[in-house]
Amino acid sequence: MECLKMIKPAFTLSCFCMLLCYATVLNPVSAKESCDFPAIFNFGESNSDTGALAAVFNWTPPPYGETFFHRPTGRYCDGRLLIDFVASHLGLPFLNAYLNSLGSNFTHGANFASAAATATIPLSNDFVIPAGGYSPFYLNVQVGQFEQFKYRSQIIRKTGGIYKDLMPKEEYFGKALYVIGIGHNDLTERLIANMTIEEVNASIPYIINGVSTNIKNIYQLGGRSFWVQNTNPIGCSPFFLTTFPPTADETDSAGCSKPFNEVLQHYNYKLKEAIVQLRKELPSAAFTFVDAYSLKYRLISEAQKYGFELPLVSCCGYGGKYNFGVVGCGRTATVNGSQIFGGSCKDPSVRVYWDGFHFTDAANKFFIDQLSTGAFSDPPIPLKMACHREFD
């Protein structure tokens, strides 16, 4: 018996080690360390714009920002965007917009995203602000701004002075996480230009090429870790349902537009193919493809299950079935002889859409809780491990 007592602990420890090794083989992610990203550089449109377009053209009015910041911050949301939650999850401060010259600190990265931005050159100057509604800061321009930022920020660091410590260190560019989410506006722009669904589908390879080319350009500038999000289910948004109302047979069980969501799914499929190709062409880079579409559609179609309500109705604004289109969020207009203010709903924390196109702070919090685990990513690795190429 004494011999057995002596053998048993050693045997138990041996079994434990074997089980640990076996688990590591089955789940290699557990054997990897977190990446410790020192900075984030973000590229995209309004879903991740932390103040660029608002600083250049028109600052967002109240009640934008009311939930978290308690004031407008140039974000198209009542609070934090998904990119804000990404930064917090990585232990980094919120990103300042590159185009916002007042009070910006770029020590841990910069945000080049612009609301209303496209992945490719807008179809016509008539579509670009101030003549139209699309941003002049499309993806190629954003990457050009990043190139200039990288060069000039290091000159400032070497020159010294009061701005030296507001710039990222040179080594941060190779170790940073590069977040990209764009393409929605390219597709809606074509519908607004009266293209058919078939014509919009035919343009997808051109749009995808714009994304791929700019990812390669970022790689040439030192980027190595890419977290690439696909499009949102815009066919569910109050904006789309009001602007392009689907017929009964074009509406799915969640109340969304089937034809346009199918376009978005096709775009997402082609984007994923492009990421697979980029992994072959740029073997030194790590690519995480993030299926934001599936998660966001899940929240919209099963809102009550997750504690949300009225998933197709805008929280902020006024008018119509989806509370969108008559008076914009934070705007005032005369309706039937009365002055109407497009204010926010009573409780934004249970709503999915904030202003008809963009998500609420609460919805974005829901998204990061799921996306950060890697459950909706290819490869399925946590956000904090997105620098590891071995899983691609």
Instruction: Give the residue numbers annotated as catalytic, written as ranges.
Output: 46, 355, 358
Residue recorded with tokens 């870790």: 225
Give CA separation, 312 vs 162, 240, 241, in Å: 48, 10, 9
CB-CB contact of 361 with 352 (8 Å): no
Give the DSSP letter string of 321-337.
TTT-SSB-TT-EEEETT
The closest alpha carbon to 286, from 381, 152, 375, 365, belongs to 381
Give the DSSP letter string of 292-319.
HHHHHHHHHHTGGGGT---TTS-SSSB-
The closest alpha carbon to 53, from 98, 6, 2, belongs to 98
CA torsion sign for 99, 105, 106, 111 is negative
The closest alpha carbon to 286, from 230, 221, 215, belongs to 215
- Could you give the CA distance from residue 123 to residue 129 in angstroms, rounded to a whole number? 13
Q: Which residues contact 181 (CB under 8 A, 6 or more apart)?
A: 43, 44, 45, 47, 48, 113, 228, 229, 230, 292
Structure tokens at 336: 């039937």
The H or E element containing residue 41 is strand 40-44
